[in-house]
Amino acid sequence: MPAVPQAPERRAHTVVDSPCGPLTLVAEEEHLVGLYMEAQRYRPDDSVFGERLPEPAGPPFAETARQLEEYFAGRRECFDLPLRLHGTPFQRRVWAALREIPHGQTWTYGRLAEHIGRPTASRAVGLANGRNPVGVIVPCHRVIGAGGALTGYGGGVERKRALLEHERALPAAAGALQLPAF
């Protein structure tokens, strides 16, 4: 018996301000499926984001906005949000591993590849990392080149540098984050 095609999930989006510039949040039902920066590489066309909501109200937008605000203010190190990440099994495996990189630390692409049991797949890990649909929340900015270089970041290397500086400079009494305007 052939599989019955499922109707696509209803999508909606909203835009929130951040020190990294405007962030477009995309949801399917009550799951966050996207967080995109302006001029981000691999950003889908806005036409697939669904209806635009004027404010981040309701799930998951209100909670995502609150947790992002806490993160940028230095009061949050990891996110606890309902995510639905669309990608290949390999991509989802890489994205899950990204969430295991501790706040304030970096791993190389090679270390991430070893962590997922694919030590020779650092290039493929880099490609999957670049396709991460929820940057910041799934911290792909914490992955660097073998020599410590800040190689590629979908949101731009300057944003990657600013996010890493923010995370490394988080003493308990840290004030609000001041990133350059984008």
Q: Which of 60, 36, 56 shows the shortest CA–CA distance to 46?
A: 36
pLDDT-derived band at 60, boundaries 50, 70, 90: very high
Q: Judge contact between 115 and 15, C-beta under 8 A.
A: no
- For 15-43, the DSSP string reads EE--TTS-EEEEEETTEEEEEEETT-TTP
Looking at residue 101, its pLDDT comes to: 95
Residue-wise pLDDT tens digits, 84-98: 999 999 999 999 999
Percentage of the chain modeled with pLDDT above 90: 76
Q: What is this structure's pTM?
A: 0.86
pLDDT-derived band at 1, boundaries 50, 70, 90: low
Coil vs helix vs strand at 155: coil
Distance CA 58, CA 77 (A): 23
Looking at residue 8, its pLDDT comes to: 56
Token pair 């890493």: residue:
164
Distance CA 50, CA 24 (A): 12
Pairing of strands 23-28, 31-37: antiparallel
Question: Taking 90 as the threshold, does the pLDDT of residue 46 lie above it?
Answer: yes
pLDDT-derived band at 147, boundaries 50, 70, 90: confident
Return the active site residues: 140
Token pair 């390999």: residue:
90
Question: Taking 80 as the threshold, does the pLDDT of residue 129 lie above it?
Answer: yes
Token representation of residue 147:
């020599």
pLDDT-derived band at 149, boundaries 50, 70, 90: confident
Percentage of the chain modeled with pLDDT above 70: 88
pLDDT-derived band at 180, boundaries 50, 70, 90: very low
